[in-house]
């Protein structure tokens, strides 16, 4: 019996061309931080380096801690004094990136369908962003953080996708078994990996990411409206 529905955000509830979004994100970050002495290429490299460290995180520390320690290896201890500037970026400049993403009203329908079935809802977005950036994107999707029992962010999580331990941690927080959960996402490698734990799956295809060109024919799949109908029948 399904007790919880897990939803990915970027490319799932929030239509997104990942390459376009990342380009705009880095551009905005550089406009904010380069005047404060952060050279553009080094800044982007440091963000990727910190992101890579979060993806490898083993849960012993938060992703936030791991990111900033790795980031500081390029720019030194000054980054900790400048962290309020980065935090300000996510509060002030980041929301202006909403125009790089799409909108699908069926996102609300899918979440509402899960709730109508009595399922607990989790926003299982890869926790590589601060809460401010994550909650902003939730709003772009026409949803509210209150629509979910909890949202994974880099402050509160010590694993990342595609590590199955990320999904195990969500199950521990909910107090449910993996086979009592459904994971809906658009990324074959990062989201469908939840199936190795026994989770039911739904592949959202309009913004499909399948970098390894895996066979996806076995997955229930379709649009967000299809997902809503699928949830209604579970």
> pLDDT tens across 92-151, in order?
999 999 999 999 999 999 999 999 999 999 999 999 999 999 999 999 999 999 999 999
Domain 4-16+102-233 has CATH 3.30.230.10: no
The span from the CA of 129 to the CA of 133, in Å, is: 6
Rounded to 5°, the CA angle 94-8-155 comes to: 55
pLDDT score of 166: 98
Q: Work out the pLDDT band at 4, boundaries 50, 70, 90.
A: very high
Section 2-11 average pLDDT: 98
Q: What is the CA radius of gyration of the chain?
A: 18
Section 19-44 average pLDDT: 97
pLDDT score of 48: 97
Kindly list the domain boundaries of the chain, sorted by start residue: 4-16+102-233, 19-99
Contacts of residue 219, defined as CB under 8 A and 6 or more positions apart, other chains included, come to: 192, 201, 202, 203
pLDDT score of 21: 98
> pLDDT tens across 168-218, in order?
999 999 999 999 999 999 999 999 999 999 999 999 999 999 999 999 999
- Give, for 5, the enclosing helix (H) or strand (E): strand 4-7
Section 25-38 average pLDDT: 98
Secondary structure tally for the chain: helices H, strands E = 8, 6
For the chain, the average pLDDT equals: 98
pLDDT score of 207: 98
167 with 184: CB under 8 angstroms?
A: no
Determine what percent of the chain is predicted with pLDDT higher than 70.
100
């Amino acid at each position: 019996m399904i007790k919880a529905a897990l939803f990915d955000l970027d490319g799932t509830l929030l239509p997104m061309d990942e390459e376009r979004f990342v380009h705009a994100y880095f551009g905005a970050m550089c406009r904010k931080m380069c005047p404060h002495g952060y050279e553009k290429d080094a800044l982007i490299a440091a963000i990727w380096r910190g992101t890579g460290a979060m993806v490898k995180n083993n849960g012993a520390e938060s992703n936030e801690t791991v990111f900033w320690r790795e980031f500081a290896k390029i720019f030194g201890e000054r980054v900790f004094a400048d962290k309020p500037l980065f935090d300000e970026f996510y509060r002030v400049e980041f929301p202006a990136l909403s125009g790089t993403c799409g909108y699908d009203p069926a996102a609300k329908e899918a979440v509402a369908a899960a709730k109508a079935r009595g399922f607990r809802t989790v926003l299982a977005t890869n926790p590589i962003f601060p809460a401010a950036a994550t909650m902003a994107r939730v709003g772009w999707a026409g949803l509210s953080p209150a629509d979910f029992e909890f949202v994974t962010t880099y402050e509160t999580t010590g694993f990342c996708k595609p590590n199955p331990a990320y999904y195990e941690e969500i199950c521990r927080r909910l107090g449910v078994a993996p086979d009592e959960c459904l994971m809906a996402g658009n990324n074959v490698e990062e989201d469908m990996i939840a199936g190795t734990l026994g989770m039911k799956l739904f592949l959202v295809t309009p913004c499909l990411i399948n970098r390894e060109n895996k066979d996806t024919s076995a997955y229930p799949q379709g649009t967000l409206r299809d997902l809503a109908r699928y949830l209604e029948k579970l």
